[in-house]
Chains A and B, each alone.
Chain A
């Protein structure tokens, strides 16, 4: 069966510090991968998506970046965190390909607080 891991679960970082969040998927190959952010009391905002190794698309301008060094590994980074980067970060995957189904499976999330 497929599983998706995210770490760390919680993180408190000072403004201006770097960030690295990691997401890995097991039990599937060639997945589409996604990073979302959810601010307190808000809906999810799609940040990045990837259809393959080294292929990253950004949805919104920001000081975050994403990388996909391996097929089932997705990393979210920042060189200098802002207060507005606080939120609940979720990684998700879906089967690659066009179909009527294409469910997205979400990880447990990382709660980031920038002070």
Chain B
């Protein structure tokens, strides 16, 4: 049900950029791409979302492929606090409600 594919884990050095990929080959025209992250023993928190155009916010950037079948979450300078599981989610819109299907995500390890 998750409809997205992500690598199980990735590793980065502190202060370096990180590119977290996500494949969503069955995305529909009205699916938004959302990214959440989950720190250990906490609930997930919103990172960023987009539809077609690349997006930037204070936490990260989201690069969306032209065919929308893949996207990449970019952390410009990884810190130790960015070590978390990152989830790429397609938002299934039904009426006035949105359901999220979380996959297994990518566990990001950040080395000092």
Interface residues of A (CB under 8 A from B): 32, 34, 36, 42-46, 49, 51, 59, 88, 90, 92, 94, 96-98, 100-109, 111
Contacts and interface: CB of A to CB of B under 8 A. Distances in A.
Interface of B: 2, 32, 36, 41-46, 49, 51, 85, 87, 91, 93, 95-105
Contacts, number: 63
7 contacts: A44-B87, A46-B100, A46-B101, A46-B102, A100-B49, A109-B42, A111-B41
Given A100-B49, A102-B91, A103-B46, A43 B103 contact: yes
Contacts of A96: 96-97
Contacts of A106: 42-45
B46 A104 contact: yes
A32 B96 CA distance: 9
Given A46-B101, A51-B97, A101 B49 contact: yes
Nearest to A51: B97
A43 B46 contact: no
B98 A94 contact: yes
